Amino acid sequence: MSRPVDAVLALAAEFLGERLTTNAALREQHSHGEDALPHALPDAVAFVASTEEASKLLALCNAHGVPVVPFGAGTSLEGHVTPVRGGITIDLSRMTDIIEVNAADMDCRIQPGVTRQGLNAHLRDQGLFFPVDPGSVCTIGGMCATRASGTAAVRYGTIRENVLGLTVVLADGRVIKTGGRVRKSSTGYDLTRLFIGSEGTLGIITEITLRLHGIPEAISAAVCQFDSMAGAVETVIAVMQAGIPVARIELIDEVQMGASITYSKLVGLAPVPTLFLEFHGTPQGVAEQAGLAEAISGDFGGQGFRWATDPAERTHLWQARHDAYWAGLALKPGHRGMTTDAVVPISRLAEAILGVKEDIAASGLTAPMVGHVGDGNFHTIILVSDEPGAVERAFELDRKIVARALALGGSCSGEHGVGIGKREFLEQEHGPEALAVMRSLKTAMDPKAIMNPGKLFLN
């Protein structure tokens, strides 16, 4: 029993007690996210309850060279939480305190295990909300680590634009605070943004100061259907260029619409390319925005533009959008989903999407498509069977989709991150020199390379 991890476990048990565990079921539960990548077990799982505990644990792991993997809700789609080199998984999902809400400043300070849903339930009676909405039930700490966004980023920005400051435990256990509560500051390097999207490779986020927004006086949803994918995409581009402040503008292709009509019992909609829109503002402003969007959609062949301020109808529509993943899976019972995440400049969106649909057809696979198209970001959910070679065929299609996005000046991931699954594309996307700079920052911050090893960088 001379493994370095054993020394750490013995010492950490003194302050973590039963919250440090080598229980087989808990290790298995922490061996993977929601991806199709191989699983790997941590040596132990630590459910930390405070910044101080995380700090003490990291200092020990660093001293003994033991790998550390931060874990939130485990909803990663790119293998971020898989402990490929063992070590200790630090589970932050029990750190769910909403420490303070400052209504006058429209900000709050939370622990990293708080979910968007939990935070918004807490904020509702103060007239405030947190708008970054990746759809899944994930932790806000995880959203910070992967630079998440989702359906409302087109209006409210990604997590990057909605974090004011962080508390971070560094690899050696030092604790720093980045940013603060002010809306802007020009003092020193932007450490907050350095940790946003660092995927647990530079430190562990243990507190987050978030920017909040006022719940809009009026919200309306709209849906519009098109004969062609091109018409739907051209509508999106024109809506964005007109400066209509849409809160959400989502594209659902004909395959996904077919799936969602069945799964979510959507009435009066056809399995054709469709836009779901949402407008936030005053009653008058919302009506005006929807009217402008309707006029634009008509120019590009949009039919049956339908909008409603009725909360029940709106909820049903967006629930269908959020359930798209499950609706897609239901097309092929017994299959798993592998989600792609390409993003391109919006002017290249039609070309990218039509090209990807050709790739899907050529692959013989089923892959419904949804997209945060106001940002140029679209997902395909590749349905993967249990047959030998099926995962490889899905990855093959994913690579083709990434290649198309990069060729059009895009990125391999709009919001899911690099993790394990997208490492091979990082150099192509950023160039060897920029990648070398990223590696030099990693080395400066984590010289013993204990922080989430095997992620972001190919070694």
State the Cα–Cα distance between residues 412 and 389, nearest whole angstrom. 23
* Whether the Cβ atoms of residue 122 and residue 103 lie closer than 8 Å to each other: no
Q: What are phi and psi of 80, to 5 degrees?
A: -55, -35
Q: Which is nearer to its own copies, 9 or 370 (CB)?
A: 370
DSSP notation for 215-254 = PPSEEEEEEEE-SSHHHHHHHHHHHHHTT---SEEEEE-H
> CB of 73: closest distance to its own copies in angstroms?
17
* Residue whose CB is less far from its own copies, 201 or 225: 201
CB nearer to its own copies: pick between 149 and 225: 149
Cβ burial, residue 165 (10 Å; 0-12/13-18/19+): buried
The distance of closest approach from Cβ of residue 187 to its own copies in the complex, given in angstroms and rounded to an integer, is 5
Q: Under a CB-based contact definition with an 8 Å cutoff, are residues 249 and 154 in contact?
A: yes
Least distance CB 301 / its own copies (angstroms): 19
Q: Which of 445, 434, 419, 430 is nearest to 84 (CA)?
A: 419
Locate the DSSP E strands across 2-87.
20-21, 44-47, 68-71
CA distance 393 to 365: 8
CB of 39 to its own copies, least distance (A): 23
Shortest distance (Å) from residue 5 CB to its own copies: 27
Q: How far apart are the first and last CA of the chain?
A: 29
* DSSP β-bridge partners for residue 384: 336
The packing angle between helices 311-322 and 254-264, to 10°, is: 120
Q: Which is nearer to its own copies, 217 or 358 (CB)?
A: 217
Cβ proximity to its own copies, 78 vs 254, nearer residue: 78
By CB neighbour count within 10 A (0-12 exposed, 13-18 middle, 19+ buried), where does 100 fall? exposed
Q: How far is the CB of 182 from its own copies (least distance, A)?
A: 5
To its own copies, the closest distance from the beta carbon of 153 in angstroms equals 6
Q: Which of residues 100 and 310 has its CB atom nearest to its own copies in the complex?
A: 100
Least spacing, CB of residue 186 vs its own copies, in Å:
4
DSSP state of 181: S
| Residue 258 neighbours by CB distance under 10 Å | 18
Tokens read off for 99 = 């420490």
Taking the least distance from each CB to its own copies, the nearer of 257 and 343 is 343
Min CB(71)–its own copies separation in Å: 18
Least distance (Å) from its own copies to the CB of residue 59?
13
Distance set, CA 198 to CA 25, 141, 191 (Å): 28, 12, 11
Residue 375 or residue 398: which is nearer to its own copies going by CB? Answer: 375
User: In this complex, which beta carbon is closest to its own copies, that of residue 263 or of residue 425?
Assistant: 425
Nearer of residues 209 and 260 to its own copies, judged by Cβ: 209
Q: Compute the least distance from the CB of residue 99 to its own copies, in Å.
A: 14
Neighbours of 417 (CB within 10 A): 25
- Report the alpha-carbon distance of residue 77 to residue 136 in Å, rounded: 11
Nearer to its own copies, 164 or 224 (CB): 164
| DSSP 8-state code for residue 272 | S
